[in-house]
Amino acid sequence: MKLFSYWRSQATYRVRIALAIKGLDAELTTLDLLKGDQFAQHYRALNPEMVVPTLIDGDHPPLTQSLAILEFLEEQYPDPPLLPSEPYGRARVRAIAQVVAMDAHPFIVPRVRKYLEQELKLDEATRTKWLTHWLETGTRAVEGMLAHEPRTGRFCHGDRPTIADLCLVAHLTSAQMLCGVKPDAYPTAARIFTTCMQLDAFAKTHPRKQPDAPAAA
Amino acid sequence: MKLFSYWRSQATYRVRIALAIKGLDAELTTLDLLKGDQFAQHYRALNPEMVVPTLIDGDHPPLTQSLAILEFLEEQYPDPPLLPSEPYGRARVRAIAQVVAMDAHPFIVPRVRKYLEQELKLDEATRTKWLTHWLETGTRAVEGMLAHEPRTGRFCHGDRPTIADLCLVAHLTSAQMLCGVKPDAYPTAARIFTTCMQLDAFAKTHPRKQPDAPAAA
């Protein structure tokens, strides 16, 4: 497999963790989203939305959208599982993943930050406030779903990592890298983050460990 | 089943269509998101994120996040299917659904419109430009995935509706209701929209047909 990646992309980090947990190797091709590598004609042919990640699996059509890729990996490589087997648990795990992926992450991606700066002419302080607000809103919502919930265990759902943990860790990593925000005010999320980061699959795929991460990142 | 709904909510429309296609009945409880019904303590206990939809299935824990609910319905009530059986097709359908659900819809929900108005103090023209921009970006991206793709059929993927069609129709309906934007510039998306709206499951669950829709909507 081949993965088109950008070191700081939250969505790509989710996929890197899933590949690592499932013991799958993917050759990395890095794109610099700030320089606009994603708009090149050859990449656009793979990913008409011109975003990362894109996963190429042999001669099959390109796979796009990180959560769709996670579901694909789960279906094709079910062991170890990243979703529980029980239907209400699966729904809960997907919902937690989607709270950060759909209701927080969209607001911090490069194309939105560009719109805030170039179209709305917002100054840096106002832009940082925007990023912090939506990242924080997402963390607060997830904490509300995790705290005082008997189904929360060492991880978001029980005692093994699921796609909820992948998304939560990638989200909290973005919050820390972009705004210096630590999850201290959200004890359950913070505890699970620490637990996850002790696992190689989360630690070794960290944005700062990527070949395209700047030395001072 | 019980569905907490708001007439104009794009995410709830997706779920109403899925229920209708699968022949499932759900008793509707409507919330007025503009009045803040979603912040009531009893609703927050069901949905810590305080958004719609929430689906209650008997005594089981509440189900939240529309795409997680669609996957749940697909797993529990597989007939008629809303996902193809082939893995690369499933991944494609989920990716199309996520382009509108994750990369367009988040920007137009009430809490974001409120932030634009009350925090950023943007005037109405600038706010409408924002809505139109992100709705259009989503439609353009989906058109890019649908056009010149042999897997596109009468619907987004082949000749029966999938979750991609649910999300596309709900997205284009929002675009039309919020900004008066028709998908004329996107011929494949427009054609599929027309095909879907000829089906009862899409037409009868339309936002304007909801009990809480204002008479003049």
Give the pLDDT confidence of A19-52 residue by residue, as tens digits: 999 999 999 999 999 899 999 999 999 999 999 9
- Can you tell me whether residue A64 is helix, strand or coil? strand
A65, A103, A112: residue with CB nearest B95? A65
Q: Is there a contact between A1 and A26 (Cβ–Cβ < 8 Å)?
A: yes
CB spacing of A99 vs B144 below 8 angstroms: no
Provide the pLDDT confidence category of residue A217 given band limits of 50, 70 and 90. low
Q: Do domains B2-80 and B87-203 have the same CATH topology?
A: no
Count CB-CB contacts under 10 A for residue A24.
15
Count CB-CB contacts under 10 A for residue B174.
25
- Comparing CA positions, the residue from B36, B41, B40, B70 lying closest to residue B53 is B70
A72, A94, A119: residue with CB nearest B87? A72
Biggest CA pair distance of chain B: 49
The Cα–Cα gap between B187 and B7 comes to 27
For residue A122, give Cα distances in angstroms to A114, B19, B116. Answer: 10, 42, 12
- Taking the Cβ of residue A150 and every Cβ of chain B, the question of whether any pair is shorter than 8 Å is answered with no
CATH number of A87-203: 1.20.1050.10
- Name residue, tokens 């007025």: B32
The Cα–Cα gap between B83 and B92 comes to 10
What tokens appear for B6 in the block? 């708001």
The Cα–Cα gap between B104 and A50 comes to 14
CB spacing of B103 vs A106 below 8 angstroms: yes
The Cα–Cα gap between A102 and A142 comes to 12
Cβ neighbours for A114, distance < 8 A, ≥ 6 positions apart: none
HSE at residue A35, side-chain half, CA atoms within 13 A, is 7
Angstroms from B64 CA to nearest CA on chain A: 6
For residue B168, give Cα distances in angstroms to A134, A154, B26, B96, B202. Answer: 25, 37, 22, 8, 11
**How do residues B152-194 score in pLDDT, each as one tens digit?**
999 999 999 999 999 999 999 999 998 888 889 999 999 999 9
A102 contact residues in B (CB cutoff 8 A): 65, 67, 101-102, 105-106
The Cα–Cα gap between A162 and B154 comes to 36
Domain range annotation of chain A: 2-80, 87-203
ipTM: 0.96
Angstroms from A204 CA to nearest CA on chain B: 26
Q: What is the pLDDT along chain B (217 residues), one digit of tens a residue?
A: 999 999 999 999 999 999 999 999 999 999 999 899 999 999 999 999 999 999 999 999 999 999 999 999 999 999 999 999 999 999 999 999 999 999 999 999 989 999 999 999 999 999 999 999 999 999 999 999 999 999 999 999 999 999 999 999 999 999 999 888 888 999 999 999 999 999 999 999 999 999 999 987 5
What tokens appear for A122 in the block? 């917002």
- Taking the Cβ of residue A94 and every Cβ of chain B, the question of whether any pair is shorter than 8 Å is answered with yes
B163 contact residues in A (CB cutoff 8 A): none
**Interface A-B: count of C-beta contacts within 8 A:** 123
* Chain B residue closest in CA terms to A122: B120
Angstroms from A32 CA to nearest CA on chain B: 20
Whether the model pTM is above 0.90 = yes
- Residues facing B41 on adjacent strands: none
CB spacing of A48 vs B145 below 8 angstroms: yes
Compute the Cα dihedral for A62, B78, B55, A151 and give only its sign: negative
B60 contact residues in A (CB cutoff 8 A): 88
- Comparing CA positions, the residue from A154, A162, A213, A157 lying closest to residue A18 is A162
> What CATH fold (topology level) applies to the domain B2-80?
Glutaredoxin (3.40.30)
Mutation site for B-interface testing, chosen from A39, A46, A56, A64 by largest number of B Cβ within 10 Å: A64
* Chain B residue closest in CA terms to A134: B112
A107 contact residues in B (CB cutoff 8 A): 106-107, 112
B63, B98, B107: residue with CB nearest A68? B98
